[in-house]
Amino acid sequence: MTPAPVRQRSLASRIWSHALDSVFPPHCVSCRAFGRFVCGDCLVRMVRAEHPRCGVCWQPSADSRCQHCRHLQPAFTAVRSVYAFGGPARDLVHALKYSGLSAVAPLMGEEMAGLLLGWKPGVSAIVPVPMAGARRRRRGYNQSELLAREIGRCTGVPVAGRAIVRRVGPSQVEQPDEAARRANAKDAFAAGRGPVGGSFLLVDDTMTTGATLDACARVLKSVGAERVYGLTFARES
């Protein structure tokens, strides 16, 4: 990946969002104060997911490779998240996923792009974690795809939106524990259309146990990916 400065949104896009803001002024997703999607007070309460963490799955750990990763050997090379899940970071994810507030995606995607440009894992395409067709139709969009497109716009890395497809089945959030999430994720994804070979960046809003990213990484590797990385906005724990 060639590092590139975070690109500004097009003039038309900025004029449109300004026009929307004058009709529906944004309010803070966390404290409801008018003005911005995350106000200054809430912004300083967001906790960045920083070291010491496992260099593979990015959970808090004194070891560079945590016990969990030594035992499970995930298919991804490494995962990074911008924020610890909680407070205003959790409220942003919920606004995007459950309140239909797609307008927060540029804000979140730009933060993720900033992390990617500093991290430089060397990827040839960005792959959003797909969501089941029925849920996507209800919501009107796949939040991971919106984030992937924002990251692509900011970094110049192409987005392979259909490289993985979601099979019909129970959603991950319905699973009671990690073992159930891993079993459910194992058969939930299949290879779709997209580039074969190269290194890929999986994008999702939140990492919980890593079961979804691991299952998606296995799918990409089964069709020839050399390395698979993951990037999420938030990480639980």
* Subset of 57-116 contacting Zn ion (CB under 5 A): 57, 66, 68-69
How near is the Cβ of 104 to Zn ion at its closest, in Å? 13
Residue 217 engages Zn ion in binding (rule: CB under 5 A): no
Token reading at 232:
């999420």
Min CB(209)–Zn ion separation in Å: 11
List 56, 125, 188, 207, residue binding Zn ion (CB under 5 A): 56
Q: Which residue has the tokens 């990763």?
A: 69
Task: Report the alpha-carbon distance of residue 15 to residue 221 in Å, rounded.
Answer: 42
Q: Quick one: 4 or 31, whose CB is closer to Zn ion?
A: 31
**Considering beta carbons, is residue 157 or 231 the nearer one to Zn ion?**
231
Assigned token pair, 73: 């050997």
Q: Which is nearer to Zn ion, 54 or 159 (CB)?
A: 54
Angle subtended by helix axes 87-98 and 105-119, to nearest 10: 120
Stretch that binds Zn ion, among 50-58, 76-84, 106-114, 190-198 (CB under 5 A): 50-58
User: Minimum distance between the CB of residue 147 and Zn ion, rounded to whole angstroms?
Assistant: 21
How many residues lie near Zn ion (CB under 5 A)? 12
Buried-state track 175-201, b at ≥16 Cβ within 10 A, e below 16: beeeeebbebbeebbebbebbeeebbb
String of contacts with Zn ion for each residue 23-42, x by CB under 5 A: -----x-xx-x-----x--x
What is the Cα–Cα distance from 21 to 79, expressed in whole angstroms?
34
Report in angstroms how near the CB of residue 135 gets to Zn ion at its nearest. Answer: 29
Q: How far is the CB of 189 from Zn ion (least distance, A)?
A: 21
Q: What is the 3-state secondary structure (H, E, C) of 143-180?
A: HHHHHHHHHHHHHCCCECCCCEEECCCCCHHHCCCHHH
Closer CB to Zn ion, 69 or 216, in the complex: 69
Return d(Cα 9, Cα 105) in angstroms, integer. Answer: 12
Residue from 219, 211, 210 nearest 127 by CA: 219
Min dist. Cβ of residue 23 to Zn ion (A) = 21
Per CB under 5 A, residues contacting Zn ion are: 28, 30-31, 33, 39, 42, 54, 56-57, 66, 68-69
